[in-house]
Structure 1
Amino acid sequence: MRITGYRSLATVHEWGRPVGDVNGVVAGGVTEVPLVLLETDEGLTGVGLGAHTEAHRVYPALDGQDPRAVTSLYDRMLAHVFKSGHAGRTFGAVGAFDMALWDLKAKIAGEPLWRTLGAADRFVPGYASGLEYALTDDELVAFYGQWAERGFSGAKVKGGLDIDHDVRRLLAVRDVLRPNSARPALMYDVNEAWGRHQAVRLTRRVESRAELTWIEEPVRRWDVAGHRAVVTGARAAVATGENLTGLEQYRALLDADAVEVVQTGSVWGITHFLRVSTLAFGHGLPVSPVGYNANPVAHAAAAVPNHLVTEIQDLRAPVGLRVDQEICDGGIVLGDTPGLGIEVDEESIATHAAAGQWSGAAGPHVRPADAGLRLVP
């Protein structure tokens, strides 16, 4: 079998509510979901999710290759972009292709990816999330109520500007989840909104009123000293890593004991998650992938020994995607459909009129000019 080409599609995820974080909000609640379809000479197609605007630069490394050699092809893609580097949008393209390659490998084997990767159990523990920064307090309670009904005992709350406001919401979510646990797990994510001089002080203020499982991205992603200061000064674990690309960006944090829950971005692909998990395992640390549409990395999470919990952001799939998984009992139950279990209905995607708004100038992918200076007194 040989790789013969690829096609790009774009569908949307309709959240039915505003979504975002401290850096910005998509008020219309519709976000784009890029897809790459990797084609072969035997008619099988691999599905990858995530932005891949640099696919044209990366694809020559795959053209004509046997898709079963996934890990070798991953390194071949990195080598292909050696001079210009593999970070940013280029790493996104590598990740999308990598996801499609793993999808193909499992389809060729006639089994779901979690089995191909060696997992013994199809269940992946999760925590509830949802980019819920713009919801009112009542809307927040209603939103997490549906997750409590599905057995979840942990949830993430976005914040970073108004500590009193954030604590009130953390405690409200705790109470929603209490039917499932006497001590629900609370993750508090400020999305790099704080400076090093603020992070320890503000984390302690929150912890004085709410028990946190972890504080997520308290400072900029590359700030080793800042993360180490929070590790030393806070009771909660420090989680970070979703925006890091390549093992080289993790090593300084790990070597300095500046991270306690190692996160990965789902859009960076399966091989990235597996390699970061191994690196974290060597340091005695747990790994936790952040959420993304259709939860593709859950297949890999089921297969690593140090997986802690996977972020799950919504109960619905993007338009035109059917996903063989069930969200219940506080996690994801993966199905038996070969590959990632994602079926693409191109006709449904083509006839859908809504456009994604994640890439708008208002964020939340755009860092505000006054980030770190907007705290409510």
Structure 2
Amino acid sequence: MSIIMTATALLADIAVEKDRTDAVQAFVKQETILVEITTTDGLQGTGYAYTIGTGGTSVLHLLREHLLPLLAGEDARNVEALWQRLFATTRATATGAITSLALAAVDTALWDLRCKRAGEPLWRLAGGHRREVPVYDTEGGWLHLSTDDLVKSALQAQQAGWAGVKIKVGKPRVCEDAERLRAVREAVGPSLHIMTDANQSQTISSAHRLAAALEPYDPYWLEEPMPADDISGHARLARATRIPIAVGESMYSIMQFRNYLETGAASIVQVDAARIGGITPWLKVAHMSESHNVVVCPHFLMELHVSLVAAVPNGKFVEYIPQLRAVTRTELTVRDGMAVAPDEPGIGIDWDMDSIDDRRVS
């Protein structure tokens, strides 16, 4: 038996390592929600979720006041049953970010326990397809950076053997985005993948213009060109451009992904384990995407997603944005352009709780 004795939550603010801007916002800090669960078999599991500046206290209150009290006395091995029970109690606030983030913090803690109990790393217990996966860089592609900076970062990634780089788009004039992409493409040649990301900044008409301007430079994908709930707009754009359309970081339920896949509105799925509600629904989205012959390239959370991408056969890339180095004892291993999933039992994150306590908000 593995009965839950305690379940607690805290909130800590982690500063960004460098300025991060896109077409609609700046990443000012990571509000990090951690859940710790202890069980009668002597194990402790730690899970987490995040926001990029607002809403963390709302997630914390939902956990403390409504969700965590339901866990005491439950069998931690019944991960699916616990996810469904907690979700059922939040019907009035689902589907949405606050609920999904709270569920994710609990679910990742339960998976941490599951892996530790089995003595296996997450990448193997969640599927075990492979241990190493290609990585691409986002840190060198923020919107405020100069064209020279973009070129320099892209060349560094290429020389390190990385699979690609991401460039943020959404400048006031389309020609600016096209010129920045052209400069990078000419510098790195045809072999390096260049991902582009508009962060939901476009209308249907401007998205078509943007895609047409970027097409000559062979972007690997165009990410979130329009608001995430505009499924029909993305489907129309996907039919009109040769650039694959990537979506997922701003979607909070399995059904949203199903609708995108069934309408041909997405060629790349970027499901985020925190925003979808945890590892349990993340795997369902990944397998559903595989049934549509679509790859998964998750958003952010590289320290967790490296194991999930490695677990499934349609896992394609890990996005490199370091954010947990200030509060962990180890960091993501990248070797010869490949991110290496941790092999220790658990979800693979070695938290430094003293550093987290120093950043604790509540």
TM bucket, shorter chain:
0.7 to 0.9
Shift of 1:237: 0.4
Cα separation, 2, equivalents of 1:185 and 1:206: 14
Unaligned runs of 5+ in 2: 51-58
Q: Is the 8 A contact 1:11 1:320 kept in 2?
A: no
Q: Is the 8 A contact 1:9 1:35 kept in 2?
A: yes
Q: Deviations over 1:173-232 (max 9, x none)?
A: 445655xxx421111100110111221122101213x11111111111111221011111
After superposition, the Cα gap between the structure-2 partners of 1:40 and 1:215, relative to the gap in structure 1 and judged at 3 Å, is same
Shift of 1:111: 1.8
Unaligned runs of 5+ in 1: 356-377
Other-structure match for 2:231: 224
Cα separation, 2, equivalents of 1:99 and 1:175: 42
Other-structure match for 2:191: 183
Q: How do 1:89-108 and structure 2 match up within 5 A?
A: 89-108=98-117
Does 2:134 correspond to 1:125?
yes
Cα separation, 2, equivalents of 1:66 and 1:151: 45
Cα separation, 2, equivalents of 1:176 and 1:44: 51
After superposition, the Cα gap between the structure-2 partners of 1:349 and 1:311, relative to the gap in structure 1 and judged at 3 Å, is same
Of 48, 59, 68 in structure 2, the residue corresponding to residue 59 of structure 1 is 68
Instruction: Specify the code of the residue in structure 1 equivalent to 2:18.
Output: R
Shift of 1:14: 4.5
After superposition, the Cα gap between the structure-2 partners of 1:285 and 1:59, relative to the gap in structure 1 and judged at 3 Å, is same
Q: Deviations over 1:25-63 (max 9, x none)?
A: 24xx65333322222234322121213332132224433
After superposition, the Cα gap between the structure-2 partners of 1:64 and 1:257, relative to the gap in structure 1 and judged at 3 Å, is same
Cα separation, 1, equivalents of 2:118 and 2:183: 46
Q: Is the 8 A contact 2:38 2:44 kept in 1?
A: yes
Cα separation, 2, equivalents of 1:9 and 1:177: 44
Shift of 1:339: 0.5
Does 2:182 correspond to 1:171?
yes
Instruction: Specify the code of the residue in structure 2 equivalent to 1:168.
Output: E
How many residues align structurally? 346
Of 236, 250, 259 in structure 1, the residue corresponding to residue 257 of structure 2 is 250
Q: How do 1:300-315 and structure 2 match up within 5 A?
A: 300-314=308-322
After superposition, the Cα gap between the structure-2 partners of 1:45 and 1:146, relative to the gap in structure 1 and judged at 3 Å, is farther
Alignment TM-score, normalising by the size of structure 2:
0.87
Cα separation, 2, equivalents of 1:146 and 1:348: 31
Q: 88-97 or 338-347, which moves further after superposition? A: 338-347
Cα separation, 2, equivalents of 1:60 and 1:177: 54
Cα separation, 1, equivalents of 2:32 and 2:101: 13
Q: How do 1:1-377 and structure 2 match up within 5 A?
A: 1-26=2-27, 30-51=29-50, 52-53=59-60, 54-56=62-64, 57-130=66-139, 132-161=142-171, 162-174=173-185, 177-178=188-189, 182-208=190-216, 210-268=217-275, 269-292=278-301, 294-314=302-322, 317-323=324-330, 325-351=332-358
Cα separation, 1, equivalents of 2:186 and 2:319: 20
Aligned-pair RMSD on alpha carbons?
2.3
Instruction: Specify the code of the residue in structure 1 equivalent to 2:199.
Output: N
What's the secondary structure of 1:254's corresponding residue? helix
Instruction: Specify the code of the residue in structure 2 equivalent to 1:199.
Output: A
Instruction: Specify the code of the residue in structure 1 equivalent to 2:151.
Output: V
Q: Is the 8 A contact 1:262 1:280 kept in 2?
A: yes
Q: Is the 8 A contact 1:125 1:332 kept in 2?
A: yes
Cα separation, 2, equivalents of 1:140 and 1:35: 34
Percent of pairs with identical residues: 31
Instruction: Specify the code of the residue in structure 2 equivalent to 1:41.
Output: T
Shift of 1:245: 1.0
Cα separation, 2, equivalents of 1:63 and 1:236: 49
Q: Deviations over 1:86-109 (max 9, x none)?
A: 422011100111111111100111
After superposition, the Cα gap between the structure-2 partners of 1:164 and 1:79, relative to the gap in structure 1 and judged at 3 Å, is same
Shift of 1:13: 4.2
Cα separation, 1, equivalents of 2:42 and 2:155: 44
What's the secondary structure of 1:72's corresponding residue? helix
Other-structure match for 1:361: none
Q: Deviations over 1:344-372 (max 9, x none)?
A: 2222333459x9xxxxxxxxxxxxxxxxx
Alignment TM-score, normalising by the size of structure 1:
0.84
